[in-house]
Structure 1
């Protein structure tokens, strides 16, 4: 069942949609799913349910402001270079507070959501049990920009707006917020490698070898700066391992959480 939580952010009231998975598993680890740059609750489809069922976990899936059924971005709202930092440092804590979440969750983040998970874990090391990051970004690469430029052309010339409209109340809000900041020339300098040293929790980093939005240097760079990181590099897999190879993504994540969770008293 979809629920909504209100927070105050960017000097206005914002409504965030979220869905709880298996809340009755009260003693189970809680996994919070952080979606990609064009994602939402609906865009995950049934993957969070599958992962939680496989591991016997609880789940929390939500749409960031501007996405899904959450409050859309104002038409003239332009995101800044630090937009992922603000999601990690401002939106996520405010959302957790709004829904009364005070335990240490596991974060499962894809793409931009993975970057946000890394930033949150670095800033709030005592508030997260561990993180699974899938095709995250820690710096900007030429291949990323080139494919985001192709996405802009597709949005302007194909039925991509209609297809995205299945997952967002406002496809324009979701697409242009993401696309414009990634193609903003100063964003080429965006880099969160220095922040990674602050991560203390266990980290699992998964990436497809054929990722069209980044090279394996993204997760290898995480492992160099957070040496507790476990890496999984998947052959015949693109930017979305949870869609390209869901069984492998689930097995890897469940095994990782089970190996690193605190034993029951």
Structure 2
């Protein structure tokens, strides 16, 4: 297998919006695996996973930073209640179109999983969908996890640790996360269920058995909404980040799913 070429570059999607991407080019042609990061993520916080999944599957991998993150266009607060839907409905398809990506397999973690659900529903370029700890609604476990993390942010070295990755955007991104999810209007309006029936591609819906940010019922509801082409899968001895906590199991499940495509 050839040594991949890794390129970092910006993609201009509109006069006001630019997204930063990392492209791991291994084979050229065929589908590209597109990674969508979590609420407090960026390219760097995927750590070695993009390279590992590229090697395991033999596919090109595209990782990108959503609005507000990394080197992408900054955001202002407050975020709109439908910000995740906007990411999946508008900016993800625009990115795939701008890169002329004929076939994409979406792999989203947490918030990125929610974005991937909407993106798979609206983009004909998507031939496969993988989610890890995606949400379609706000549940009590999610809110409890966010409140606990907010307390850690206020009373520990968590801001300094996040600042290694987010720099001077750290406080803004943390506020964007917790203020939005703890807002009453977001909690009552956030519901991705209507998008699920529009997803026509095979889907692997994963979550750690010990995930402290989402109830296992979310997995069942997502799979039920997508239909028989969706496979729910729980990873044992695993919390919110399967790709970091149980990388070997996670990589193997993804590899099997992609081979079946």
TM-score, normalized by length of structure 1? 0.91
Equivalent position to 1:136, from 131, 134, 137: 134
Aligned to 1:116: 115
Deviations 1:163-192 (A, max 9, x none): 111222411232111111111112222111
Quote the Cα distance in structure 2 between the aligned partners of 1:223 and 1:88.
18
Can you list the C-alpha shifts for 1:130-161, whole angstroms capped at 9, x where unaligned?
11000100111011011111222222222212
Task: Report Cα offsets for 1:203-237 as digits up to 9, x if no partner.
Answer: 00111111000111111111111121112111111
Structure 1 residue ranges (4+ consecutive) displaced by more than 4 angstroms after TM superposition: none
Stretches of structure 1 that go unaligned for 5 or more consecutive residues are: 261-265
Alignment of 1:153-164 (within 5 A): 153-164=151-162
Q: For 1:68 and 1:168, how far apart are their aligned partners in 2?
A: 6
Alpha-carbon separation, structure 2, partners of 1:3 and 1:259: 32
CA apart distance, 1:24:
4.1
Matched, 1:258 2:259: yes
Tell me if structure 2 keeps the 8 A contact 1:67–1:173: no
In 1: Cα distance, 2:109 partner to 2:245 partner: 13
State the 1:2 CA deviation: 1.9
Match of 2:242 in 1: 241
RMSD over aligned Cα, in angstroms? 1.4
Residues 229-264 of structure 1: CA distance to partner in whole angstroms, max 9, x if unpaired?
A: 11211111101111110111111111101101xxxx
Paired residues of 2:109 and 2:132 also in contact (CA < 8 A): yes
Q: Decide which moves more: 228-237 or 165-174.
A: 165-174
How far apart in 2 are the matches of 1:152 and 1:127? Answer: 38
* Preserved CA contact (<8 Å) 2:57 2:255: yes
Q: Shift in Å at residue 110 of structure 1?
A: 0.3
Alpha-carbon distance between aligned partners in 1 of 2:28 and 2:94, rounded to the nearest angstrom = 23
Structure 2 residue matching 1:140: 3-state secondary structure: coil
Structure 2: how far apart are the matches of 1:28 and 1:219? 29
**For residues 25 and 95 of structure 1, do their structure 2 counterparts lie closer, same or farther at Cα, with a shift above 3 Å needed?**
same
After the TM superposition, which residues 192-207 of structure 1 pair with which residues of structure 2 at under 5 Å, given as runs? Answer: 192-207=192-207
- Render the CA deviation track for 1:104-133: whole Å, top value 9, x for unaligned: 200000001001111111123x22011100
Q: Which sections of structure 2, spanning at least 5 residues, go unmatched?
A: 1-6
Secondary structure, counterpart of 1:165 in structure 2: helix
* Residue of structure 2 in register with 1:225 after alignment: 225
Number of residue pairs matched?
252
Pair 1:72 & 2:78 matched: no
Superposition TM-score, scaled by structure 2 size:
0.92
